[in-house]
Amino acid sequence: MAKVLMKGNEAVAEAAIRSGCRLYFAYPITPQSELIEYMAKMMPKVGGTFLQAESEVSAINMVYGAAGAGKRVMTSSSSPGISLKAEGISYIAGAELPAVIVNVQRGGPGLGDIQPAQGDYFQATKGGGHGDYRQIVLAPSSVQEFADMASEAFDLADKYRNPVMILADGMLGQMMEPVEFKEARSQAELDELGKQHNDWCICPNEDGDKKHHHEINSLEIDPAVLEAHVNALYKKYAVIEKDETRWEEFNISDDNEILCVAWGTASRIVKSAINEIKAEGKSIGMIRPITCWPFPYEAIAKAIGPKVKKVYVFELNTGQMLDDVKIAVNGKVPVDFWGKVGGIVFTPAEIQEKLEACF
Amino acid sequence: MEIIATRPQSLTSTPFTYCPGCLHGVAHRLIAESIDEFGLVNQMTGVAPVGCSVFAYKFFNFDMAQAAHGRAPAVATGIKRARPDMHVFTYQGDGDLAAIGTAEIVHAANRGERISVFFVNNAIYGMTGGQMAPTTLPDMKTTTSPYGRKVDDIGYPIRVSELLATLIAPYYIERVSLLSPADIIKAKKAVQKAIKYNKEGRGFTFVELISTCPTNWGIDPVKSREWAKENMLPFFKPGCFRDKGEGVE
Ligand SMILES: Cc1ncc(C[n+]2csc(CCOP(=O)(O)OP(=O)(O)O)c2C)c(N)n1
Ligand code: SF4
Ligand SMILES: [Mg+2]
């Protein structure tokens, strides 16, 4: 399939539809508006449901209902709206429903601004909603990857019956890059997908032995039952940590003197800086977490080669993933951090300057 | 042996968790009987709220969802849009529907969402121990209005049926009472109508059921009904506010 030039927001929407998403509920917010508008235009053309909800709270609860009916369903928003979805995401995790949530992050806290930022890392990876749960967090760094993550997110959500968040930002949402889409899932495939949840989801009933009573529920009033439920969730999360941790290694070698760690938009800029420094004959590598939860702790620990003097973390926040990197590094070498906030994005030259000073 | 009375097919054998004399059980039974009567037990699904009826997902004998506090209409919307072949209802209390869930109910009604909503108004937060609800009557004492509901400070009770009747989309809106056997027979007719319209895919149907909370009102069940007749019915007048099927606009 030929490449097309598209904004990230539109690309992820198109890819979601191709992955079999036929229900989408959301509330408008910048910088994700192209996503909701694309869905409004395209869903009716594929016989799907587009519904502009009265709030992000309602949208996520519509997702809860549709996911409870076993269908591929998605919502999207940007930072302030994701805060409103937090309650619903907790319920989705508790009730073990498959759902995909896109966060096109903007500057915060509060109303913040509408420029790209990475300030929702804590919210996405450490909870956001209440209670003891985890959500899978995929962090794209290009429009192509943003699009590819749609189908990956649906597959992971279905496989683990768990919320999956694609954690992008205003830069990835708004910029145009060439994208190549996968073939759309055929109707036969979609019908097959539709059946995979029939043993637990809300679906028409039958008489006699086949009668079922499926409960979409996160309430367990008996502490012993809730304990068993949460422990079962944790077993599932351990499997996800083992099997689904993803990262990219960039220029990693035993000669590395500096190891960078950056995710999403920030990682693109760090890559450019590394390329400049490489050209000067210095050795420097980068680990880019692709899943922010589960986090690639081991990959980072392993990438600290014999000559590494320092691990340098760059983020568009005041140091959120930094905590996870410190856990991974576990005191082996010093960890430094530099970030930009307020929706201001650092330049490759700025990163290069920071890194050059380390040699 | 001839069976002359039995549990409706639409109810499970799980015992209700309601206080003795509570009318939630009556409301459940009316809904279950109506679903049976229209032969919908295999196409039905419901959404339980947060409130005393939180366990409704265990009581109805088909697939059920339990929703976050106030969000049942949004959850029902998601289910109905995902499964248009199924019939969906929500069951909600007055705190759930008329306070925290006001946006969800107004907009589900305004979209003409093809669901039924059964709204149990007992003028109080039952589950959490008797706090003031948006439907608590003027001067009525609750644990969070210990000196009585002061309307100058906190406003008047919300008449949800009348409020929703200002919208164009809803197909059927009726308020009934569960306070006497005669009222319950009338209430059954309203519930049946909502289920019938739901079956026919007509649009948004809403039945408000005036109920009691003997436990938190601190009045015994029989006197509670008398109290409610004297105090609730004059403010929350039973009546049909919308019935597009019968030309009531
Ligand atoms: C977000 C949230 N806020 C508050 C509560 C606590 N809570 C549980 S039930 C309830 C009130 C329910 O009252 P109502 O809807 O009138 O139902 P009733 O128990 O009277 O039938 C409240 C405030 C909650 N569970 N979730
Ligand atoms: S607290 Fe009130 S509403 Fe709740 S079950 Fe008891 S009597 Fe019924
Ligand atoms: Mg109540």
- Tracing tokens 């190891």 back to the chain, one arrives at A259
Mean pLDDT (chain B, rounded): 97
CA atoms of B236 and B243, how far apart (whole Å) = 18
- Read off the pLDDT of each residue in B16-41 and give the average, rounded to a whole number: 97
CA atoms of B39 and A207, how far apart (whole Å) = 12
Q: Give me the pLDDT at residue A145, please.
A: 98
Name the residue of chain B whose CA is nearest to A206's CA. B42
DSSP conformation class of B115: -
| Closest by Cβ to A204, choosing from B42, B80, B103 | B42
- Residue B71 located in a structural domain: yes
User: Domain A4-188: which topology?
Assistant: Rossmann fold (3.40.50)
Q: Give me the pLDDT at residue A193, please.
A: 86
φ/ψ (deg, to 5) at A325: -65, -40
Name the residue of chain B whose CA is nearest to A86's CA. B68
- Residue B79 located in a structural domain: yes
CA atoms of A136 and A194, how far apart (whole Å) = 22
CA atoms of A216 and A161, how far apart (whole Å) = 12
Q: Is A235 exposed, middle or buried (0-12, 13-18, 19+ CB in 10 A)?
A: exposed
Name the residue of chain A whose CA is nearest to B62's CA. A213
Q: Which residues contact A54 (CB under 8 A, 6 or more apart)?
A: A27, B103, B104, B106, B107
Q: Give me the pLDDT at residue B2, please.
A: 86
Residues B111, B80: contact at Cβ < 8 Å?
no
Kindly compute the dihedral angle of the four CA atoms of residues B16, B20, B21, B22, in this order, to the nearest 10 degrees.
-50
Give the confidence band of A167 by pLDDT, cuts at 50, 70, 90: very high
φ/ψ (deg, to 5) at A88: -65, -35
Q: Ligand 1 centre and the CA of B96: distance in Å?
A: 6
CB-ligand 2 contact for B215 (6 Å cutoff):
yes
- Residue B138 located in a structural domain: yes
Q: Give me the pLDDT at residue B103, please.
A: 98
Residues A124, A95: contact at Cβ < 8 Å?
no
CA atoms of B79 and A63, how far apart (whole Å) = 9
CA atoms of B9 and A220, how far apart (whole Å) = 25
CB-ligand 2 contact for B126 (6 Å cutoff):
yes
* CA-nearest residue, atom 2 of ligand 2: B213
- What are the pLDDT digits (tens) for A185-196? 998 998 888 899
Closest CA to A266 of A331, A334, A350, A333: A350
The residues spanned by each domain of chain A are 4-188, 247-356
| Closest by Cβ to B77, choosing from A65, A67, A91 | A65
User: Domain A247-356: which topology?
Assistant: Rossmann fold (3.40.50)
* CA-nearest residue, atom 7 of ligand 2: B213
The answer to whether A4-188 and A247-356 have equal CATH topology is yes
* pLDDT above 90 for A70: yes
Using a CB-CB distance cutoff of 8 angstroms, which residues of chain A are in contact with residue B100?
none
Q: What is the ipTM of this complex?
A: 0.98
CB contact under 8 A, A69 and B107: no
Domain range for B170 is 24-246
Candidate from B17, B28, B53, B213 with most ligand 2 atoms within 8 A of CB, to mutate: B213
Q: Among residues of chain B, what percentage have pLDDT more than 70?
A: 100
| Closest by Cβ to A65, choosing from B58, B62, B65 | B65
> What CATH number has the domain bearing residue B52?
3.40.50.970
CA atoms within 13 A on the CB side of A39: 29
- Read off the pLDDT of each residue in B26-48 and give the average, rounded to a whole number: 98
Ligand nearest to the CA of B69: 1
Q: Give me the pLDDT at residue B3, please.
A: 85
- Residue B123 located in a structural domain: yes
Residue type, A220: E
CA atoms of A296 and A240, how far apart (whole Å) = 12
The DSSP string of A239-267 is HHHHHH--EEEES--TT-SEEEE--HHHH
- Tracing tokens 């800086």 back to the chain, one arrives at A273
Number of domains comprising chain B: 1
Candidate from B16, B17, B18 with most ligand 2 atoms within 8 A of CB, to mutate: B18
Q: Among residues of chain A, what percentage have pLDDT more than 90?
A: 96
Collapse the DSSP code of B60 into the 3-class scheme (helix H, G, I; strand E, B; otherwise coil) and give the result: strand
Candidate from B26, B66, B96 with most ligand 1 atoms within 8 A of CB, to mutate: B96
